[in-house]
A and B are shown apart, each in its own frame.
Chain A
Amino acid sequence: MELSSVDLSRMLTSMTLGFHIIFATIGVGVPVMISIAEWIGIRNNDEYYLLMARRWARGFTITVAVGVVTGTCIGLQLSLLWPSFMKVAGQVISLPLFMETFAFFFEAIFLGIYLYTWDRFKKPIYHWLLSIPVIIGSSASAFFITTVNAFMNTPQGFKLDGGALVEIEPLTAMFNPATPSKTFHVLTTSYLTAALILGSIAAFTVLKGRNGVYERKALKLTMAAGLVFALGTAVAGDVSAKFLSKHQPEKLAALEWHFETKPGADLLLFGTIDENNEVTKAIKIPGMLSFLAGSSLDHEVVGLDEFPEEVRPPLWIHYLFDMMVGIGFFSIIVSAGFIILDKMKNRNPYNKGLLWLILAGGPLSILAIELGWILAEVGRQPWILRGYIKVAEGVTSADNVGLTFLMFLGLYILLGVLTIIVLVKMFRNKPAEAELEDRFRGSSK
């Protein structure tokens, strides 16, 4: 099969974003967790939490580095692969892209300071204060870049006058209808993912037989944070569905295999679909789609029949949607389960079964992030700028995209493998208890 320049460019963009988004999500979420741990440690004068903050921060240095370099890749690649699109969209939406770099700048400066000043201040709270600009910087950069993605879904803030862009309003473009739901969902899921990944590492250590105070405290903290963020994620997901039904109905209809516009629409879980769009084996929840989309069981939901064949998104995104939502509920149940067992007397939250589920939470949340982005981006097909430019019109005319794809594939494999090796090496020979001994107790005398 001969792959066209468009196919290859899409593959390369997807690969770079799919790789970057893992590290970006960690980059947005983990500073929040580090800051919470350090705060509790200072407040309660508890060296376990202080150590937790330090250990998380140490691992974070590695993932940040990969986040930064892959982000630089995607930033330049957008111009290299989609020059015609960037030339047009850049006129309207370069403001948040530009502000994103300021946010990075801010984050980079304070992260540098934070990581190298653990013992430099007389009052530990000054060091904690440095984590605030790091959080502001990384969350703001997620916010700004997500407004760009929102713009691609619901473009506004300009008019087309025979090919030329006129009446450009950068702020209107930035605060388009997709912005609130998207940024809300992206931020909550980043925090959730960070909590679940860190919880998953703690669960792994306990399962391997190291069941000390440190691991228990880490589990409690990550699961409590995880529960809060998982509930936030579900709310934000619901907000996103309501947004879709109003502004991007074809995407919601494709996600839910909803063909006819009608009130009282059913929610479909799982199932299969054939070439005549006959759905079988799905679990139907009557009226639920109407409820999700409009908070009422007989709200009218727009179906795919209102859109011509060639601008309908592919239908397989339904499966991704089910899995993402499933993982969302999984994380609510697991984190709530742990907290409840922990609060009840005579119950053991550290039983093997639950620990295995917590362990699964980390990888599953990363999977959900990937699924979420794929369904959101593929659900925009065939548009790159919905209603204005199709993907095929934005692509580069250069040859050699295939070669470029292979080069970057090699790069990401190398970086992925080395990240894991370096992280494992960093902590394997240094259990928390031992580090606690020589960092706090040994030196205090």
Chain B
Amino acid sequence: MSLEVLGITVLWFFLYGYLIVASIDFGAGFFAYYGRVTKKEHLINHVISRYLSPVWEVTNVFFVFFFVGLVGFFPDTAYYYGTALLIPGSISLILLAIRGSFYAFSNYGSKDNDLYLFLYGATGLLIPASLSTALTISEGGFLKEEGGRVVFLAGKLFTSPYSWSVVVLAIVSVLFISAVFLTYYAWRARDLDALGVLRKFALFWSGPTILASLLVFASLKSHNPHHFENALDLWWMFGLSFICFAAAALFIIQGRNYGTAFIMVMFQFFFAFFGYGASHLPYILDPYISVSTSYTNDTMGRALVTAFIAGLVLLVPSLILLMRLFLFDADYVKGKK
């Protein structure tokens, strides 16, 4: 594998990691607020906060890692996206900032402030919507180079059916991933009341997830036929994704194997996300940036890969420790520690 493809694969893994952990976090925020409004708070909110409290900062780092790595490996992305996305990028940033700090304010500071919780919940849906537009833009057609300047065609983005279908998919997937994970967590905690509520959420959002992905495919066909063709060549990835989804849904309907169900959901998104990514190649930003033209110099590429491997040696054991303490420690999950 060439160094630039290795680089983008590594970054794609981190974005996938962010997709999973952040979805859990974003969706949980929404469910927590929904729980308060519908007076089911006592059923689900402690399950949510027990998992989220120790890990939220880690979630954020996945994101930072992705964009720092992207600019490191492919410096041109800073130039194109940076110039074009000043306003939308800043809005996403402000939402992220509000979310992170309000989580801390409401969780460690004033536990029962409704406004903090509302902002925390609402941003949970707005952020995936706004971040997903970066992927939409990467399909091309929303940026224009004009007299040495990069111009963002906002009007086109807002009227494009493709762009809206991606937004819908982002929101629905967030809720689905999150609901399945929290169902599993509630089951580990042997908290049957919470389990009942969360399982219903998971079932409720499963159908829309599949519908929304079909919608994205359909609109991609007219927006970027060339990408659509590439995706068809990788039809088996999307097929595997669907099989994993079906298995997960089956387990949840039967009310057993919640752990396996969540792993199946992770695979569902893994195959779909990597199928999407692989068929997107060689472009990072169609047609301006491709992995080979925008790749940083070889020396830096090798230095980054080396740093990356050294970093993993440090991080993987630490992450395992974190998961053992807060995810797989039955007593902690049950609230006994």
CB pair B86 A61 closer than 8 Å: no
- Which residues of chain A from 393 to 445 have any CB-CB distance to chain B below 8 Å in the complex? 396-398, 400-401, 403-404, 407-408, 411, 414-415, 418-419, 422-423, 425-426
Q: Secondary structure of the A side of the interface?
A: helix
CB pair A115 B54 closer than 8 Å: yes
State which of B58, B60, B79, B87 has its C-beta within 8 Å of the C-beta of A400.
B87
CB pair A404 B90 closer than 8 Å: yes
CB pair A98 B101 closer than 8 Å: no
Q: How far is the CA of A109 from the CA of B320 in the complex (A)?
A: 10
CB pair A72 B84 closer than 8 Å: no
Known A76-B89, A426-B108: A397·B150 in contact at CB below 8 Å: yes
Interface size class of A (residues with CB under 8 A): 35 or more
State which of A100, A109, A408 has its C-beta within 8 Å of the C-beta of B319.
A109
Q: How far is the CA of A178 from the CA of B94 in the complex (A)?
A: 33
CB pair A90 B96 closer than 8 Å: no
State which of A70, A101, A408 has its C-beta within 8 Å of the C-beta of B90.
A408
CB pair B86 A396 closer than 8 Å: yes
Is the C-beta of B297 less than 8 angstroms from some C-beta in chain A? yes
Contact residues in A for B104 (Cβ distance below 8 Å): 61-62, 64-66
Known A75-B64, A98-B69, A418-B101: A80·B318 in contact at CB below 8 Å: no
> Count of B residues near A, CB < 8 Å?
66
CB pair B101 A65 closer than 8 Å: yes
Stretch of A164-172, A243-251, A307-315, A372-380 contacting B (4+ beta carbons < 8 Å): A164-172
Q: Secondary structure of the B side of the interface?
A: helix
Q: How far is the CA of A84 from the CA of B72 in the complex (A)?
A: 14
CB pair A80 B85 closer than 8 Å: yes
Is the C-beta of B300 less than 8 angstroms from some C-beta in chain A? yes
State which of B110, B150, B314 has its C-beta within 8 Å of the C-beta of A102.
B314
A-to-B contact residues, CB < 8 Å: 58, 61-62, 64-66, 68-73, 75-77, 79-84, 86-88, 90-92, 94-95, 97-102, 104-106, 108-113, 115-117, 119-120, 133, 165, 168-171, 396-398, 400-401, 403-404, 407-408, 411, 414-415, 418-419, 422-423, 425-426
9 smallest CB-CB distances across A and B, nearest first, come from: A65-B104, A94-B72, A83-B82, A422-B109, A90-B75, A69-B97, A112-B54, A102-B311, A108-B57
- 13 A-B pairs (CB sep. < 8 Å): A62-B108, A73-B93, A80-B86, A87-B78, A88-B75, A94-B296, A99-B311, A102-B311, A106-B318, A112-B58, A170-B303, A398-B87, A422-B109
B-to-A contact residues, CB < 8 Å: 53-55, 57-58, 60-61, 63-65, 67-69, 71-73, 75-76, 78-87, 89-91, 93-94, 96-98, 100-101, 103-105, 108-110, 148-150, 296-297, 299-300, 303-304, 307-308, 311, 314-315, 318-319, 321-322, 325-326, 332, 337
